[in-house]
Structure 1
Amino acid sequence: MDPIFTPEQLAEIKAYHLPLYIRSAVSPAVYLGVLLFILGVLVRPFYRGAESCAGWLTQRLEFLRTAPVLRVVIQAMDRLWGEPGWGAAILFALFVDLFLELVYAPSNTYFGYVLEHRYGMSAYTPLRYALDELKGIAVEGVATSALVLGLYGLARRVKRWWLVLGIPSALLLLVSSALDPYRSRVFFDQKPLEQGPVRERITALMASADIPFQDVLVEKTSVASKRLQAYFAGQGPTRTIVLNDVLLQELAPDELLAAVAHEAGHVHEPKWPGRIASSLALVALLFAIDRLLRHSAARGWFGTTRFADIRTLPLLWLLTFVIFFLSTPLSAAFSREREREADRYALRLTQDPDAFRRMLVKAARVNKMDPEPPRWVVLKGHSHPPIGERLAAVPPPAPGPQTPPAARDVP
């Protein structure tokens, strides 16, 4: 079997991944240090600045309270918060988010733009990269504002707020994947795959797999990245097969079907146990946050004067960081096993190990996958098994017909 990479390609792969491995090793300590700096130094000045800005905006924008539509929204926020101050709370949270964005901007730019361009993995122009970064910051800002109003506002008004918020949030988490087809459209254009043999073969493959779907879409990610990507988005009536345009350019039809078959394997995974566990974990996290907020209020940490004081927000980020840091290796191990099972499912569905092997090799070459990453990197949080391991699990091609002994040349 031919090697995945030539020696020159392998050397380039190792050079590309080395900075990524270094970041993986140091990023937890860096993020922990930044959070501790915010808690120890910046909480008080950020809060004073948020109060000042909120007071200034209240004076200048008082007319919004009588605007036809906005007054209803503002009144609802007043009732949710229960007292004046929700504007300062939102501004404080946005100050913390903005500070984190500024701290990580050089690193994000290097790894998201400079390194990717250096090794031919990115098609971003500086303008598009900046616009997508701004989109991400805007989406995060909206999510943070909703979190502040929902979590802190409810915690101020309801004693067992963690149950009141946790149960509907857990139920929403169970069905949130139905919205997946619409999320990526914030960043990339999508259009239906044109009618033709490829679409017909995908449809036939999904019929064999007994997987109903709404559509096959082509996502134009080549404007930003040169990586291959395929995924299923949504559930039930919203299930959509999404193929990026790079995949269609790089893979032959049989190889493309192998990629779709792998993603189909994830559809048949037993998802409900994981979803139920995630929902229960969410309720448990909210209960832990409730205990932390009460302890902070009792001790007066960071100048807090009452329960659910917004100044505890960085402390919640610290709590969630510790929980995810400790749980990621375990969840990644389960993810790697699901990927192995999806590979096995794809091989059973297509009955074409040669096409599956070629698909993996092309994906490894185009996406510059390290065939043998350091073991600690895999254990720390790799969601997929190393590509070398996946290829080794593919059955070898069947031997060709043998020439009868009598017909062989005699030396």
Structure 2
Amino acid sequence: MEPLFTPEQLAEIHAYHLPYYIRAAVDPFARLGLMALQLGVLVQPFHRMATAAAAGLEHRLGFLRTAPVSRVFFQAMDRLWGESGWGAAVLFALLTDLFIRLVYTPVDTWFNYTLEHRHGMSNYTPGAYAWDVLKEQAVTTLALTALVIGLYGLARRVRRWWLVLGVPVALLMLVASALDPYRDLLYYKQKPLPEGALRTRLTGLLEKAGVSFADMRVEETSVSSRRVQAYFAGQGPTRTIVLNDVILKEFSEDEVLAAVAHEAGHVHESKWLGRIASSLALVAFLFAIDRLLRVSASRGWFGATRFADIRTLPLIWLLLFCVFLVGKPIAGAFSREREREADRYALRLTGDVESFRRMLVKAARVNKMDPEPPRWVVLKGMSHPPIGERLAALPPPP
């Protein structure tokens, strides 16, 4: 059997992945250090800056509170927050987030732009990369504002806020995946997969698998990346098969079918247990935040003068970071097992071991996958088994 990579290709792949492995080892300690710096030194200065900035904006733009249209917004925000002062809270949250982002901007730019270009994995132009970073920041700003107003505002007004907030959000999590087909439209154009042999064969394959779908789309990711990709997005009436334009260029029809057959295996996974567990974990996490906010208020941590003081937000980030740090290896282990089962399902569905093997080999070569990453990297939370392991698990050729 032809080797997966030549020695030259393997040397380049190791050179490509080594910085990522170094970052994976260093990053948890760096983030903990930045969070400690925020909690130990920067909370009070940031809070004073946010309060002063909010007061300045109120002085200059106070007329908006009485303007016919904008006053409705301000009245709604005051009710959600429970009192005035929500502007300073939002600015404080944005300052704490901006501090981390500014520290990481050189690192993120080197990894996401420079390193990817150096190894031929990116098609980003500087302008397109900057535009996507700005869009991501805008989405983060909106999400962070909603989080501050929703969580802290509700906590100030309702004693069992964690239950009032946790139950509807948990229910929303159960159906949020229905919106998946529309999220990537913020970054990439999509168009229907043209009528033809491939679409006909994919339709037949999914009929055989018993997987209903609303559409087949081609996502134009080649504007930024040279990686192949195929996935299912949405649930029920919104379920969509998404193939990126790179996979259509690099793979034969049989190989595309093999990739989609693997994704069809994920559709048949039993997801309710995981969703219910995630929902319960969310409620438990919000309850832990409630306890943390009460202890912070009673002991005056970080200058907190009342329950749900916005100055406790970096402490919540620290708690969330610790939860992810502990939970990611566990989630990764379950994810890798689901990927193995999806491989087995695809082989049962198509019966075409050779096309599946070629699909994995091409994906590994185009995406420059490390066939044998360090074991600690896998255990730290890799979502897929190493490509070498997946190939070794395939039945031998006849």
Query: Which TM-score band (shorter chain)?
Result: over 0.9
1:327 alignment partner in structure 2: 327
Structure 1 position 36 matched with structure 2 position 36: yes
Shift of 1:396: 1.8
Q: CA offsets per residue over residues 259-304 of structure 1, 9 Å max, x none?
A: 0010110000000000000000000000000000000001101111
2:101 alignment partner in structure 1: 101
Residue type matched to 1:302 in 2? F
The 5 A counterparts of 1:122-201 are 122-201=122-201
Shift of 1:84: 1.3
CA 1:68–1:232 in structure 2 vs 1: closer, same or farther (change >3 Å)?
A: farther
Whole-angstrom distance in 1 between the partners of 2:81 and 2:369: 49
Residue type matched to 1:52 in 2? A
Whole-angstrom distance in 1 between the partners of 2:94 and 2:88: 10
Higher alpha-carbon deviation: 374-383 or 63-72: 63-72
1:227 alignment partner in structure 2: 227
Whole-angstrom distance in 1 between the partners of 2:166 and 2:36: 27
2:389 alignment partner in structure 1: 389
Percent identity for Structure 1 against Structure 2: 71
Whole-angstrom distance in 1 between the partners of 2:387 and 2:2: 14
The 5 A counterparts of 1:16-31 are 16-31=16-31
1:76 alignment partner in structure 2: 76
Residue type matched to 2:317 in 1? W
Residue 217 of structure 2: SS of its match in structure 1?
A: strand
1:373 alignment partner in structure 2: 373
2:203 alignment partner in structure 1: 203
Larger Rg: 1
Shift of 1:201: 0.7
Residue type matched to 1:57 in 2? L
Q: CA offsets per residue over residues 167-205 of structure 1, 9 Å max, x none?
A: 000000010000111111111111111111111111111
Whole-angstrom distance in 1 between the partners of 2:274 and 2:162: 21
Whole-angstrom distance in 2 between the partners of 1:364 and 1:279: 35
Residue 222 of structure 2: SS of its match in structure 1?
A: coil
Whole-angstrom distance in 2 between the partners of 1:178 and 1:65: 37
2:302 alignment partner in structure 1: 302
Shift of 1:340: 0.2
Whole-angstrom distance in 2 between the partners of 1:176 and 1:221: 23
Whole-angstrom distance in 1 between the partners of 2:30 and 2:123: 29
Higher alpha-carbon deviation: 71-80 or 34-43: 71-80
Structure 1 position 251 matched with structure 2 position 251: yes
Whole-angstrom distance in 2 between the partners of 1:187 and 1:65: 35
Whole-angstrom distance in 1 between the partners of 2:381 and 2:331: 8
Shift of 1:68: 3.6
Whole-angstrom distance in 1 between the partners of 2:94 and 2:279: 27
Residue 61 of structure 1: SS of its match in structure 2?
A: helix
CA 1:249–1:62 in structure 2 vs 1: closer, same or farther (change >3 Å)?
A: same
1:238 alignment partner in structure 2: 238
Whole-angstrom distance in 2 between the partners of 1:396 and 1:221: 34
Whole-angstrom distance in 1 between the partners of 2:362 and 2:274: 31
Shift of 1:66: 2.9
TM-score by length of 1: 0.96
1:65 alignment partner in structure 2: 65
Residue type matched to 2:277 in 1? A
Q: CA offsets per residue over residues 325-370 of structure 1, 9 Å max, x none?
A: 0111011000000000000001111110000000000000000000
Residue type matched to 1:309 in 2? D
Shift of 1:63: 2.3
Whole-angstrom distance in 1 between the partners of 2:199 and 2:68: 49
TM-score by length of 2: 0.99
Shift of 1:394: 1.1
1:403 alignment partner in structure 2: none
Q: CA offsets per residue over residues 76-105 of structure 1, 9 Å max, x none?
A: 110111111100000000001111110000
Residue type matched to 1:280 in 2? L
1:286 alignment partner in structure 2: 286
Long gaps (5+) in structure 2: none
Residue type matched to 1:179 in 2? L
Shift of 1:69: 3.3
1:405 alignment partner in structure 2: none
Long gaps (5+) in structure 1: 399-411
Whole-angstrom distance in 2 between the partners of 1:137 and 1:68: 30
1:316 alignment partner in structure 2: 316
Residue 225 of structure 1: SS of its match in structure 2?
A: coil
Residue 2 of structure 1: SS of its match in structure 2?
A: coil
Whole-angstrom distance in 2 between the partners of 1:150 and 1:259: 41
Residue type matched to 1:195 in 2? E
Whole-angstrom distance in 2 between the partners of 1:132 and 1:396: 44
RMSD, aligned CA: 0.7
- Number of residue pairs the alignment of both structures matches: 398
Residue type matched to 2:379 in 1? L
